[in-house]
Structure 1
């Protein structure tokens, strides 16, 4: 006996689903609707395979594809969220962990990035609890020490010393560290470097 082809199996399943739907009035399987969702789902899974994404990021990327209907996109993203593949709380936690440890971003910058990615205030707050002020200060010191290490001599005048200080504070400010912390840490790193240069 020959094995049933794949298309024969799909056709039989669809026929059975239609018979059941007609018998009880439900819509167990709508092959046309599923066919419309398939390319959207495939694109979404490719995007998620590259990296974890927030719900808003995924929606924005999928809605940018002109041939995808917004209602279908919403439904696919809802399906992926129910399946656990789209999870804003987990996304926010991982985003903070990685961006803080690998890029040295401050809580302020991380909060702004998460807000731009559509993460709720509660999920942002939970994720940012991973980073304490002590953690931030430690990263700020590391960045300030690294920048101070690029200085090759102790300036003779006050204006040049202030210029060196501004360079270090600028590195910290661009990463969003609080101004009081940035100034204190920058001064300490600069003084330590000047002492090394003697």
Structure 2
């Protein structure tokens, strides 16, 4: 159960609020300069969050680039975290879900992206639990098949076949899928495409 504030503390806070409402800048409980600085940082942070969801680290880096004072930034970020406007767990979970589904990113690539966004290892691990090995292979296979469809004729020789295979593997590699799985799926997709072309 939360501890009730003492009557003395309540009286001080009540007085501080009254003085603040009356514009009494002498009140030691209200630092008007600090409040103005926070208001500016808060407004900028909220604009950045309005553009898209961001991690705490991302917001801090952007605000530092705008040359706001770090202690003020930290206070504002604490305030925004306290009301749930910054939530690294939720951010990481949504990032993984959307980037895997829409961009076909592997868990390895997504982990690297979250590292760059300052997400802790525990939070990254929790977010990446959404993707299992079957999901990875299914996504990689869809990408391999899609790329294989861009091949318009059966490769005439080994060199041409290797070139087509490298293109398919390249698509998977750029999304962070491991080399062994990428090569295996690329070969399978290329074989299936060649069979399609040969019977058409």
Q: Tell me the TM-score normalized by structure 1.
A: 0.86
The residue aligned with 1:39 is: 40
The residue aligned with 2:86 is: 86
Any idea what SS the aligned residue of 1:170 has? helix
Distance 1:35 1:97 in 2: 38
Gaps of 5+ in 1: 1-10
1:32 Cα offset (Å): 2.6
Any idea what SS the aligned residue of 1:177 has? coil
Distance 2:165 2:64 in 1: 46
1:30 Cα offset (Å): 3.0
1:169 aligns with 2:169: yes
Runs of 4+ residues over 4 Å off in structure 1: 15-19
Distance 2:46 2:156 in 1: 60
The residue aligned with 2:6 is: none
Q: Tell me the TM-score normalized by structure 2.
A: 0.85
Distance 1:155 1:65 in 2: 54
The residue aligned with 1:62 is: 63
Distance 1:183 1:55 in 2: 38
1:130 Cα offset (Å): 0.3
The residue aligned with 1:6 is: none
Gaps of 5+ in 2: 1-16
Over aligned residues, Cα RMSD in angstroms?
2.0
CA offsets 1:11-50 (integer angstroms, 9 cap, x no match): 965166969x97xxx72x3333211111100000000011
CA offsets 1:43-93 (integer angstroms, 9 cap, x no match): 000000111100100000011112x21111111111111111111111100
